[in-house]
Structure 1
Amino acid sequence: MTVTEVYLIALLIILAVPWLVWRLLGSDAWAPLVVVQIIAGILLGPGVIGAVFPDYYAFVFRPDVITALNGVAWWAVMLFVWIAGIELDLSQAWKHRRETGVTAGLALGVPLALGSLAGLLLLGWSESWRGPEGAGWQVVLGIGMACAVTALPILVLFMEKLEILRTALGQRILRYASLDDIAIWGVLALILLDWERIGRQVAFLIGFIIAAWLVRKLMIRVQEADRWPIGLIWLALCGLAGDWSGLHYMVGAFLAGTVLDAKWFGLEAMDRFRQIILLTIMPVFFLSTGLRTQWESGGVAVITAAGVLLVAAVGGKLLGLAIAGRILRWQRGEAQLIGWLLQTKALIMIIFANVLLDKQIISSSTFTALLLMAVASTMLTVPMSNPLLKRLGRIADRDT
């Protein structure tokens, strides 16, 4: 068969298998389609089905096909991160800065500390968790941040399912998650800081500030129909510049979005565009992520590591919110509800872990453990939040 035909077979598997499983199991209440796609990517990778049926794996996911899929995956995740940057609105966070700062700081800081401790334990256990280019502090900080992050896009999907997105509670949680969303990219930039390329990175930041000012001026003056192509050109340029500087193309993609205003593109158009990206090309990214999972440290070791990281992530988030609730005198049970809602990690954490793996800071086994932790944490969110929300009654409608 030709490369094109095998590529289309791979694409057929990527699009059909997760959707059929999701539809037949009716898992939307606890695992949206994107989570099922991530799990399918892991199962279809070399460590599971690829190990059981090596001939299938060698035929469908041969190097030239994987290369073609990776090209689609890179562009898909750049678009998704760019949209996340555009939709970031910190005006409400500033308006409620004390409450938002305390909550977001503890929701991020406590699981970051516990996750970093878990990272130290893993490195003490075996050096196989460290990538060939990773310093100890980079591995520890990267694992800690992976345990602390909340995936804002998945959180929005879950809150829509729970019918609290437009309530006062939903808007508060969006503020907390937005600050944490910024933090993960700041920490990633710190981890990727390369003193040998510090000149390039400083040049990138200075050039970005100047270019962003010019792009904003241009966006105001052009017609709405021209803003989409200009925005995409700006995205590709920032991704290229970010990668050239030694950071990463995804850091450039996120920054490209943060300096643009969602109102320039239309909120309904942004929603449709995000859904199209999730439906059409993000599944390729999820599959390519699954293809990168490895069990070289042994299945038991990887699953054990994932369990340790899950305890650090979930326990840290709940503890951080409990402290915030005491400081801010929240209603009984409110901190626990918010803590479970902020457990969503899929997508943004997976993107973060992909960058660390690309830069060889973490090993494939660490990446696999982080991926398993992210999926488990995300799948716990709705089942744990739903009964709490029902018991707390009108809490979702109470203002800050």
Structure 2
Amino acid sequence: MHMSTAEIFLLAMLIILTVPYLAWRLGRTEYFAPLVVIQIITGILLGPGVLGAAFPSYYSFVFNPAVVQSLTGIAWWAVMLFVWIAGIELDLKAAWLHRRESGITAGLALGVPLLLGSAAALLLLGLPGWMGPKALDWQFVAGVGMSCAVTALPILILLMEKLEVLRQPIGQRILRYASVDDIAIWGVLALILMDWHRVGRQAFFIGTFALAAWAVRKLMVRLPTQDRWYVGLIWLAACAFGADWSGLHFMVGAFLAGAVIDAHWFDQQQMDSLRHNVLLVVMPVFFLSTGLRTSWEVGGASVFIVAALLLLASVAGKLLGVRMAGAILGWQRGEASLIGWLLQTKALIMIIFVNILLDKQIVTSATFTALLLMALASTMLTIPVVTPKLQRLRGLLSRSA
């Protein structure tokens, strides 16, 4: 039976939307694996490394080049929207008001897992199959190290909503720490991606972006509220194009486009609704496309061993860093553990981060797969570990600093 490309595309969308939803709802996984995690796992299972290897005819029929190209375009726009929203939601003013506490906590929460992750990357340097063909040693080490240090701000917001702590003082503190770390993460990514053969273009982009950001900020405050959304999307597309043209990555441009926009220019309820709708409507395509890029070429056991090593560096580094901050700042007993476990959530931002590293051939598909498994395990640990801690430490929720 002959099927058109449109029909096969819709069949792929039916699979993308149906399979993870049924697994999530019928399996009742919400406690340890939110729907976004199930969607990523489904993408891995539907990809070339699992079902694609077992049923190659299925894979080549459903995910043929024309369909994959269409899905890739949707995935690009979905993740640009998601990163743009994450940039808007950075609360840098609050971080500045509490700069000593935020600086110490965010610095240690980022720095310690970065060091441990970089140490793990150094071990991989001597082994074939892990460093990408276009990477310098320092780029690979910094990329893997920063992947271990990332906190997934948008997913952190969703998890804290579920735990009913987002609007509590401690939830706002955790958002401050994650916001400061987000700035550092994207700054390091921009440094890793610097193309010294195209440094002129990149300098031109940065200078033009600074001037345009000043103009956009002046314009935004003069626009009616309903127009700000549309102008914001135009700004997003322009920044993403400029960043990619300059040799950086369109994700860097998407983040910068959001970071220079103030969240209070938009209705918070509408912003929350937009984030949820992006996750509902288009992000499942990104999760599937992420799963399609997984690889087990160096051997499944090796990938799982490396993923476990990176998970240890990530979780232990985050908990140790936050514990050190708590000792310096005189936090109450149990406070550092609670904050550390929430901040170690990886999920989307790390997956976006490492997708970029794979695009630029700084990591191989095997490293990408190990980091993806690490991100999934990190996120799945959060709710089961934090829930009993919250029940014991309810008195900490109202502490503002």
- The residue that corresponds to 2:125 in the other structure is 123
For residue 101 of structure 2, what is the amino acid of its counterpart?
E
Query: Does residue 176 of the first structure (1) align with residue 177 of the second (2)?
Result: yes
Q: Which structure 2 residues correspond to residues 203-282 of structure 1 after superposition, within 5 A? A: 203-282=204-283
1:292 alignment partner, SS class: coil
Paired with 1:95 and 1:288, the residues of 2 have a C-alpha distance of: 40
Q: Quick check: 1:138 aligned with 2:172?
A: no
The equivalent of 2:29 in structure 1 is 27
1:166 matches 2:163: no
- Cα distance in 2 for residues equivalent to 1:52 and 1:295: 14
Q: Which amino acid is 2:35 matched to?
A: L
Structure 2 partner of 1:353: 354
Q: Provide the residue aligned with 1:331 in structure 2.
A: 332
* Amino acid across the alignment from 2:106: A
Distance, in Å, in 1 between the alignment partners of 2:276 and 2:158 is: 11
CA deviations on 1:12-55 (whole Å, 9 max, x unpaired) are: 01111111111111222222111111111111111111111111
Residue 230 of structure 1: CA displacement? 1.3
User: In the alignment, does 2:94 pair up with 1:68?
Assistant: no
Within 2, Cα distance between the matches of 1:27 and 1:165?
Answer: 22
Residue of structure 2 equivalent to 1:367: 368
Q: Is the 1:150–1:181 Cα contact (8 Å) retained in structure 2? A: yes
CA contact 1:133–1:361 (8 Å) conserved in 2: yes
- Deviation of residue 222 (structure 1)? 2.2
* Range with bigger deviation, 372-381 or 80-89: 80-89
Contact 1:29 1:161 in 2 (8 A): no
* Equivalent-residue separation in structure 2 for 1:249 and 1:228 (angstroms): 20
Alignment of 1:55 onto 2:84 = no
Instruction: Look up the match of 2:192.
Output: 191
Structure-2 residue corresponding to 1:378: 379
Query: Could you report, residue by residue, the CA deviation over 1:193-248 in whole angstroms, capped at 9, with x for unpaired residues?
Result: 11111111110000001111111122222222222221111111111100011010
How much identity, in percent, do the aligned residues show?
67
Report the secondary structure of 1:166's partner residue. coil
Question: Deviation string for 1:70-113 (max 9, x for gaps)?
Answer: 00000000111111111111111111111111111110000000
- Contact conserved, 2:91 with 2:175, CA < 8 A, in 1? no
In structure 1, distance between residues paired with 2:236 and 2:174: 28
Local SS of the residue matching 1:29? coil
Distance 1:234 1:54 in 2: 42
Query: 1:399 offset after TM fit, Å?
Result: 2.7
Which residue does 1:17 correspond to in 2? Answer: 19
Q: Distance in 2 between matches of 1:44 and 1:211?
A: 42
Paired residue for 1:344? 345
Are 1:81 and 1:253, in contact at CA under 8 Å, matched by a contact in 2?
A: yes
1:38 aligns to what SS in structure 2? helix
Q: Say how many residue pairs are matched.
A: 399
How much does 1:181 deviate? 1.0
Instruction: Give the whole-Å Cα distance in 1 for the aligned partners of 2:333 and 2:223.
Output: 51
Determine the C-alpha separation between the residues in 1 that align with 2:22 and 2:255: 32
Give the equivalent residue in structure 2 for 1:92. Answer: 94
- List alignment gaps of at least 5 residues for structure 1: none
Amino acid corresponding to residue 64 of structure 1 in structure 2? A
Q: CA deviation at 1:265?
A: 2.6
Task: Return the alpha-carbon distance in structure 1 between the equivalents of residues 152 and 325 of structure 2.
Answer: 20
Cα deviation for residue 61 of structure 1 reads: 0.6
Indicate the larger mover: 249-258 or 330-339: 330-339
